[in-house]
Amino acid sequence: MSTTMPANLHAALADDGLITAARCRDLGVSADRVERLLRSGALTVLAKGVYAERRAVEALGEWPAFRLRTRAFVMASPANTHASDWSAVALHELPTRSAPPPVPSVIRLGSRASGSNRTLHGRTRFAAVADRWLTEIDGTATLRPSFAAVDLARGLDRRSGLILTDAAAGREGSLEGLAQAERDIAAWPGHGRARWAVAHACPDVESPLESVGRYALLRAGLPVGASNVWVGETVPCWRLDHYWAEHRLAAEADGIGKYGLLGDPLAALRAEKEREWQLQEWGIRVVRYTWTIATLTPDALAGRIASLLRAEPLPADRLLRTWSRRDGFLARGMTPPSVGWSGSAPRRGTGARPSPAAWASPARVG
pLDDT value, residue 96:
87
Task: Report pLDDT for 259.
Answer: 53
* CB-based contacts of 261, cutoff 8 Å, min separation 6: 268, 353, 355, 356
Distances (CA, A) of 170 to 98, 182, 185, 244: 21, 17, 21, 21
DSSP lists the bridge partners of residue 47 as 50
Question: How many C-beta atoms lie closer than 10 Å to residue 306's C-beta?
Answer: 16
Which pTM does this prediction carry? 0.87
Whole-number pLDDT of residue 350: 29
pLDDT average per 10 residues of sequence, the chain (366 residues): 83 93 95 95 96 96 96 96 97 90 93 72 94 96 98 97 96 95 96 98 95 98 97 94 95 71 68 85 94 96 97 84 94 81 41 33 29
Beta bridge pairs of residue 44: 52
Amino acid at 279: L
Q: What is the pLDDT of residue 17?
A: 94
Tell me the CATH number for domain 208-364. 3.40.960.10
Domain residue limits, the chain: 7-59, 79-199, 208-364
